[in-house]
Amino acid sequence: MFEVDRDALFAIEQLNKAYARCLDDDRLEDWPDFFLEDGRYLIQSRENRDAGLYGYILYFENKGMMRDRVKSLRVANYYNLHIDRHLITNVDIVGAADGVLDALANYAVIQTDAEGRSELFSAGEYHDRIVFVDGVPRFKERLVLLDTANVVGLLAVPL
Partner 1 sequence: MHGADGHHDTRDNSGGLVWPAEGFGRVPFELFTDPAIHVREDERLFRGPHWSYLGLEVELPNPGDYTTGYVGATPYILVRAEDGGLRAMVNRCAHRGAEVVREPRGNARGFTCIYHNWSYDREGRLTGVPWEAGRDGVGGYGPGFDKAQHRLQPLKVAAHAGVVFGSFADEPPPLADYLGPAIAERLAAVFARPVMVTGYQRHTIRANWKLLYENSRDLYHAPQLHKFFGAFGIVQPQQDARAEMWHEGTHCLATIWQDKSGRKKRIKLEEPGVATERSSLPDDIAISIIGIFPNCLFTLVGSAFSVRQFRPKAPDRFEVLYTYFTYADDPACLREHLLQNNQFGPAGYVAMEDAEVVEKLQARIALGADKGASLLAMDGGDTTPDRIDHMVTEANLRSMWRGYARFMGFAPPDPRADLAAG
Query: Looking at this protein, which amino acid is placed at residue 68?
Result: D
**Rounded CA separation 106/127 (Å):** 9
Per CB under 8 A, the list member of 1, 3, 7, 78 interacting with partner 1 is 78
**Rounded CA separation 35/144 (Å):** 14
Residue 57 within binding range of partner 1, rule CB under 8 A: yes
Point out which span in 1-9, 18-26, 52-60, 92-100 binds partner 1 (CB under 8 A): 52-60
Query: Looking at this protein, which amino acid is placed at residue 130?
Result: I
Point out which span in 4-12, 14-22, 75-83, 103-111 binds partner 1 (CB under 8 A): 75-83
Cα–Cα distances in angstroms (integers) from residue 91 to residues 7, 56, 124, in the given order: 13, 23, 13
Taking the complex as a whole, the smallest distance from the CB of residue 12 to partner 1 amounts, in Å, to 26
Per CB under 8 A, the list member of 14, 80, 90, 118 interacting with partner 1 is 80
Other beta carbons within 10 angstroms of residue 66's beta carbon come to 21
Write out the residues near partner 1 by the rule CB under 8 A. 43-45, 47-48, 51, 53-62, 64-65, 67-68, 71-72, 75-80, 149-156
